Amino acid sequence: MIRTFQELKQAALSTAPASVAVASAEKKEVLQSIDLARKEGLIDRAILTGDADKIAQLADQLQIDCSGFEIQNATDYSEAAELAVRAVSSGDADILIKGGLDSSFYFKAILNRDWGLRQSKVLSNITVFEQPSYHKLLTITDNAILLNPDLEQKRSIIENTRPLFRALGLTPAKVGVVCAIEKENPAMPATVDAAALQAENQSGAFPDFVIEGPFGYDACISAESANKKGITDSVVSGDADLLLMPNMEAANILGKAYKFHGGADSGGLVLGAAAPVVLNSRSDSAIRRLNSMMLAKLIAAEK
């Protein structure tokens, strides 16, 4: 079981170097993360799409040697995304990485019916956090793609996480379905969905997962808080691996709070695609982008 990003790095380094395709690589933190990944031995090949002149100029400013990279010129974000996605869908690269382009261009290319990477019913986002206040890696979903997922989409979100948790050695993965309260209330649809997911899990619908809810956030991450609320028989409370949030806004705000107030390190992925897909916030550092690559690399090694 992998509990820290340092352990993740060691596991990622134990597998063969991967190849990556970067959509719109003309961004400082993106190039720095690719350079770090190459120096660490995590990757051995990179396809960089985007404005070739800007990529070369930025690499020169950052003193990054691009001689081992393949730079593919693109006239705009749409072309940069297409070139990168095609590289992965054709098998020319193992991992897709979001560079400096807007997410809308990235997802449009991923979802292309002819050469895209869509595989499951829905694509979903997951962010993995390591923070001083928790004893292991903690993940949040969905904080970037599905605005207000319904019950069927929540089922898919959980299923999409299976390759990640398998790669991390987390079986069964403990899922807390986060709501404002711990009781099912028809006026609060998230609690109804949570109760349904728990019941389905108990009937065997989600092998390799333990799903409990509705739980308040505190009941998910603190067994003591759960006990004070009368929750005494929970497997998830205080030991959750995944927080399934009620909507994207709640997940996004919580994730940013972890980063800016909780001192958390992080990495982000798109799940449900035919290949590992990296997704980082535009404000993420090179290190957080490297974390995402390590997660993607471990999943790629499992395929």
Q: Which two tokens stand for residue 244?
A: 């399934």
Report the pLDDT value the prediction gives residue 68, as an integer from 0 to 100: 85
Q: Which two tokens stand for residue 235?
A: 């497997």
Asked if 158 and 222 touch (Cβ cutoff 8 Å), the reply is no
Asked if 270 and 125 touch (Cβ cutoff 8 Å), the reply is yes
What span, in angstroms and rounded, lies between the C-alpha atoms of 249 and 147? 7
Residue 72 gets which letter from DSSP?
E
**For 145-160, how does the pLDDT look when each residue is reduced to its tens digit (9 = 90+)?**
999 999 999 999 999 9
**For 200-257, how does the pLDDT look when each residue is reduced to its tens digit (9 = 90+)?**
999 999 999 999 999 999 999 999 999 999 999 999 999 999 999 999 999 999 999 9
Report the pLDDT value the prediction gives residue 247, as an integer from 0 to 100: 98
**For 29-79, how does the pLDDT look when each residue is reduced to its tens digit (9 = 90+)?**
999 999 999 999 999 999 999 999 999 999 999 999 988 899 999 999 999
Beta bridge partners of 265: 130
Asked if 60 and 52 touch (Cβ cutoff 8 Å), the reply is no
Mean pLDDT of the region 132-155: 97
* Contacts of 225 by beta carbon, 8 Å cutoff, 6+ apart: 216, 218, 219, 237
**229 three-class SS:** coil
pLDDT(283) > 90: no
Show the domains of the chain with their CATH numbers. 17-119+273-302 (3.40.50.10950), 124-261 (3.40.718.10)
**Bond preceding residue 214 cis, omega within 30 of 0:** yes
Mean pLDDT of the region 273-288: 95
**For 106-115, how does the pLDDT look when each residue is reduced to its tens digit (9 = 90+)?**
999 999 999 9
What span, in angstroms and rounded, lies between the C-alpha atoms of 73 and 300? 26
Asked if 42 and 18 touch (Cβ cutoff 8 Å), the reply is yes
* Contacts of 229 by beta carbon, 8 Å cutoff, 6+ apart: 182, 216, 219
Asked if 182 and 219 touch (Cβ cutoff 8 Å), the reply is yes
pLDDT(266) > 80: yes
**This prediction's pTM:** 0.96
H/E stretch holding 11 reads: helix 5-13
DSSP conformation letters of 195-215:
HHHHHHHHTTSSTTEEEEEEE
- Edge-to-edge order in the sheet of strand 138-141: 69-73, 43-50, 18-23, 95-98, 277-278, 265-271, 124-130, 138-141, 242-244, 173-178, 209-215
